[in-house]
Amino acid sequence: MCGLIEGLTKFLCMLRYVNMKEILTHEKLKELIEYNPETGIMNWIVNRPGIRSDGIVGYVTSQGYVGVELLGRKYYIHRLIWFYVTGSWPTHVMDHRNGNRADNRWSNLREATLSENSRNRSMLRKNKTGYKGVRRRGKNVWIARIGGLHGIGQETIGRFDSPEAAAKAYEEESQRRYGNFSITARQVVK
What is the distance between the alpha carbons of residues 85 and 78, in angstroms, rounded to a whole number? 11
Shared domain check, 174 and 129 = yes
3-state secondary structure labels for all residues of 3-52: HHHHHHHHHHHHHHHHHHCCCCCHHHHHHHEEEECCCCEEEECCCECCEC
- Asked whether residue 44 is domain-assigned, the answer is yes
CATH for 58: 3.90.75.20
Shared domain check, 72 and 33 = yes
Shared domain check, 166 and 129 = yes
Give yes or no for a contact between 176 and 169, defined as CB atoms under 8 angstroms apart. Answer: no
| pLDDT tens for the 190 residues of the chain, in order | 556 666 655 555 555 444 445 789 999 999 999 999 999 999 999 876 766 667 888 999 999 999 998 888 999 999 999 999 999 999 999 999 888 899 999 999 999 888 777 776 666 677 778 788 888 888 889 888 887 666 667 888 889 998 889 889 888 888 887 777 776 654 444 4
Shared domain check, 43 and 70 = yes
Query: Could you say which of 112, 140, 172 is where a domain stops?
Result: 112
Counting the structural domains of the chain, the total is: 2
- Enclosing domain of residue 173: 120-187
Nearest residue to 90 (alpha-carbon basis) of 105, 77, 71: 77
**Three-state SS at 156:** strand
Give yes or no for a contact between 178 and 119, defined as CB atoms under 8 angstroms apart. Answer: yes
pLDDT at 80: 96
Query: Both ends of the chain: CA-CA distance in Å?
Result: 59
pLDDT at 56: 87
Query: Could you say which of 112, 140, 167 is where a domain stops?
Result: 112
pLDDT at 20: 47
pLDDT at 50: 67
User: Sign of the CA dihedral 75, 79, 82, 83?
Assistant: negative
Nearest residue to 44 (alpha-carbon basis) of 103, 104, 35: 35
- Asked whether residue 20 is domain-assigned, the answer is no
